[in-house]
Amino acid sequence: MTDRPETASQTAGPYVHIGCTPNAAGITGVFPTDLGARMITGEVAGKRITLTGQIFDGTGTPLRDAMIEAWQADAGGRFAGQDGADPHFTGFGRCACDATDGSYRFETVLPGAVPWPQGGTQAPHITLWIVARGINLGLHTRAYFDGQPQNAKDPLLARIEHKSRVQTLMAKSEDGLTYHFNIHLQGVEETIFFDA
Amino acid sequence: MSDVPKGGYAARQPGHHPVALYPPYRTSVKRSPQAAPLSFPTTMSEETGPVFGHDILGPLDADLLHNFGPQDRSAIGPRILVHGRVADQFDRPVAGALLEVWQANAGGRYRHAREGYIAPLDPNFGGCGRVITDAEGRYELRTVLPGPYPWPNGPNDWRPAHIHFSVFGHGFAQRLITQMYFEGDPLIPLCPIVRSIQDEDAVSRLIAPLDMTRSLPMDARAYRFDITLRGRRQTIFENRMEGL
């Protein structure tokens, strides 16, 4: 079936920012803005939220050189490029983790539910992709929203054998505006990563 | 792309990729997940992705020789042209793919706050560029040959000369970051990052051959680097997993 093998991944390395967020890395004047710097570009529909957190290695140290990307549906459950998608929402965010504390932050909207291929719907979630020095193949995970009633019927969450690990995919919020989502690369709290 | 099938993306084959934990690449020891990944068929979240139009591109974005320094100044070092084709695993061209590249200058020095190598910066070289593939999936970049450089891993490790590529296809499932190496570089087989790929054929596909047919006389040598992304299956039924 496969005619040509997929090109092998290699680590993004410590200098990923030069290519992906050059303005944030101090290389100005080449590109006017960094791609993914803003997910909301106007009067967006839906509830505005912040998704923020840190990425921890197996020693509990936050990664300060990682880059994280977000891809998600708009508040109506449509992805940018689809008919009816919100024209003021790109769905794509990209963030260089803070050089001091390793935190990342996306200003976005609470996504709507999206279809599951075999029927039914998936609970609202944000796809995340993490690259860094020491990560040989970009890590794919999702942030779901703790307390959303749709989580109970989400087909992907239902597949998770070790139910104690479901919590690793839950972004948590006290005020319903700022959601905290930490990612653990190893250890008892290791985040579930996907090979979908 | 009306001729692109609408089935799910074929599963990624781990054997074509580096292993997550490769102790000779020391940073991977504490940054590699230990649990098995969770598999599921691709959904809208993976089959869609950001689309970047030609309107984001400036006239010099694909010309690293000239996109940073003052006008009429060129970056220092051996001038090269890098070109190739982006296709999916079923050999369908990927039109409109965004390629972002970054690299060290000819002396092996990156323009980055955390970079401490003694080789000097080139005032005319920023080290980043980008290009969008045409209808046949083809792209072309101009730059300088990056230099090899030492890095803090083992006591005397040197990276082979390389250009980093970040690739956006049509679906987020195709997202890929990789590195292109240069034919004939003796550092390639010594590099722990390269050796994290256990499949020799997969390594060889990252090594761009010299391409004299595209080399520009009295100007620049050409190297060819083709990129293959995951592809979509013909029907949704092929995507249905056992037991569903």
pLDDT of B5: 75
User: Is a pLDDT exceeding 70 seen at residue B167?
Assistant: yes
Q: Rounded to a whole number, what is the distance in Å from the CA of A120 to chain B's nearest CA? A: 12
Mean pLDDT of the B124-151 span: 98
User: Is a pLDDT exceeding 50 seen at residue B120?
Assistant: yes
pLDDT of B237: 54
Shortest CB distance from A18 goes to which of B20, B111, B236?
B111
The rounded distance, in Å, linking the Cα atoms of B59 and B131 is 10
**Would the CB atoms of A135 and B28 count as touching at under 8 Å?**
yes
Residues of B within 8 A of A4 (CB-CB) are 87, 89-91, 228
Instruction: Name residues of chain A where pLDDT drops below 70.
Output: 1-2
> Please, what is the end-to-end C-alpha distance for chain A in angstroms?
18
- Give the CA angle between residues B27, A36, A178 to the nearest 5°: 85
Mutate to test the interface with B, among A137, A154, A168, A184 (most CBs of B within 10 A): A137
Q: Rounded to a whole number, what is the distance in Å from the CA of A186 to chain B's nearest CA? A: 5
Mean confidence (pLDDT) of chain A: 96
**Would the CB atoms of B128 and A7 count as touching at under 8 Å?**
no
pLDDT of B236: 53
Strands A103-109 and A48-56: antiparallel
**Would the CB atoms of B102 and A15 count as touching at under 8 Å?**
yes
Mean pLDDT of the B92-104 span: 98
pLDDT, tens digit (0-9, with 9 covering 90-100), for B175-228 = 999 999 999 999 999 999 999 999 999 999 999 999 999 999 999 999 999 999
Residues in B 57-96 with any Cβ partner in A closer than 8 A: 58, 61, 67-68, 87, 89-91
User: Is a pLDDT exceeding 70 seen at residue B73?
Assistant: yes
If you measure CA to CA, which chain B residue comes closest to A114? B44
pLDDT of A2: 58
Confidence of residue B244 (pLDDT cuts 50, 70, 90): very low
Residues of A within 8 A of B67 (CB-CB) are 30
pLDDT of A3: 83
Mean confidence (pLDDT) of chain B: 94
- Contacts of B14 by beta carbon, 8 Å cutoff, 6+ apart: A195
Percentage of residues in chain B having pLDDT higher than 70: 94
Q: Rounded to a whole number, what is the distance in Å from the CA of A31 to chain B's nearest CA? A: 7
Which range, of A115-119, A189-193, B14-18, B239-243, averages the lowest pLDDT? B239-243
Mean pLDDT of the B135-151 span: 98
ipTM computed for the complex: 0.97
> Please, what is the end-to-end C-alpha distance for chain B in angstroms?
30
Q: What is the dihedral of CA A113, A115, A118, A123, to 10 degrees?
A: -10
Confidence of residue B6 (pLDDT cuts 50, 70, 90): confident
**Would the CB atoms of A122 and B51 count as touching at under 8 Å?**
no
Q: What is the dihedral of CA A21, A27, A31, A33, to 10 degrees?
A: 50
Residue closest to B172 by CA, chosen among B38, B39, B8, B48: B48
If you measure CA to CA, which chain B residue comes closest to A8? B17
The rounded distance, in Å, linking the Cα atoms of B179 and B187 is 14
User: Is a pLDDT exceeding 50 seen at residue B2?
Assistant: no
pLDDT, tens digit (0-9, with 9 covering 90-100), for B56-71 = 999 999 999 999 999 9
